[in-house]
Structures are given as C-alpha cells and as structure tokens.
C-alpha cells in the first residue's frame, strides 16, 4: 500500500477512535461525566439540563373532574443527583468509539454490569436521544408506561429546551 493511500486512510478515519476509560467519575449532569482529563457524553441518551425546570404532579382532584395542579422542580438537578447516587463514588468503565463536536468522548458507561446509559432512560431520568440512536427507545417506553422520573409530570425535550434557552 502506498504512503499516499495510508495518509488518506488516516485522514478519513481520524474521527473514528475506540477505547475504554476506567475510573471514579465526576458527574457533570445526567448525561456527562469526567474521568481524569476525559470528558464523556453518555451515548444515545439526553438528560435535562442543569437549569431546566419540569413540572411534577402536585394535586389531582378526581379523575372525573380531571383537574391536576403541577409544581416546578429542577429536573436537571434531579437527573444529576440520581446518576451520582447510582454510581455512589465507585469506579465505572466507559467504552467509547468517537468524539462529538465539543471534543467529548461518546461512550456507554457501566457500573459493574449495569449499563448506566440504559439505567438513566429506563428509570426516567433521561430520554432516548433518537436523533443519534434508537437503542434506548424501549427503555424510554418502559419509563413512560410506568410513569417513572420525568414521566411523572410534564417536561420539555432537553434538546428543544437547549434551543430555546
């Protein structure tokens, strides 16, 4: 193979990487963690932003009348706190294949055998990020059907919230 072809191959595939990162993470929000100097974005999920407010059912007056009052809560903070609580200061393993435009590694992270990306969606603390992956849609459906996390009330899709704020 000529040197020219090798160089073209390397340039073409320069954004494609793969590897593992292990360590005790610093949790930035519900879909971003840092391990040492590595910034990792949890692949296939989208969690509420730290400043994002959602609505939680506060008072429901009979299903016949159909009147429900909602109160605001910091769903972005709740998402982050739930991920912190799940990891609880232990080491995690993240497998990455690429970087995003913000130079974050796009990764699937595990605490022992638990896929943390999936756990966040299945428990309603994040949604499936359909624009990039359909992998966690069944887990989102489960959370929605069982009114877990965000699905207990009303919320704006985090991607839409970012665009408006």
Give the residue extent of every domain in the chain. 17-164
Tokens for 8, please give them: 């073209």
Pairwise CA distance, residues 72 & 56, whole Å? 6
Tens-place pLDDT, residues 107-154: 999 999 999 999 999 999 999 999 999 999 999 999 999 999 999 999
Question: Can you name the residues that pair with 40 across neighbouring β-strands?
Answer: 33, 105
pTM, to two decimals: 0.86
Q: What is the CATH number of domain 17-164?
A: 2.40.50.90
Distance CA 64, CA 121 (A): 32
pLDDT at 63: 64
Strand 26-29 and strand 32-35: pairing?
antiparallel
- How far apart are alpha carbons 90 and 112 in whole angstroms? 10
Question: 50 near 80, Cβ under 8 Å?
Answer: yes
Residues making up the chain, counted from first to last: 165
Please, what sign has the CA dihedral across residues 87, 139, 29, 97?
positive
Longest CA pairwise span in the chain (Å): 76
């Amino acid at each position: 193979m000529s040197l020219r072809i090798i160089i073209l191959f390397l340039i073409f595939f320069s954004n494609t990487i793969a590897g593992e990162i292990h360590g005790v993470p610093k949790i930035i929000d519900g879909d971003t963690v840092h391990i040492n100097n590595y910034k990792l974005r949890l692949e296939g999920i989208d969690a509420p932003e730290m400043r994002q407010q959602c609505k939680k059912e506060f008072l429901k007056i009979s299903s016949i009348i159909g009147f429900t009052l909602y109160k605001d809560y910091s769903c972005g903070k709740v998402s982050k706190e739930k991920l912190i609580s799940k990891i609880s200061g232990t080491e995690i393993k993240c497998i990455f294949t690429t970087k995003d435009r913000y130079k974050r590694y796009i990764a699937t992270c595990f605490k022992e055998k638990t896929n943390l990306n999936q756990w966040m969606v299945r428990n309603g603390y994040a949604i499936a990020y359909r624009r990039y992956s359909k992998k966690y849609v069944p887990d989102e459906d489960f959370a929605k059907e069982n009114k877990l996390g965000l699905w207990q009330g009303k919320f704006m899709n985090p991607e839409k919230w970012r665009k408006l704020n």
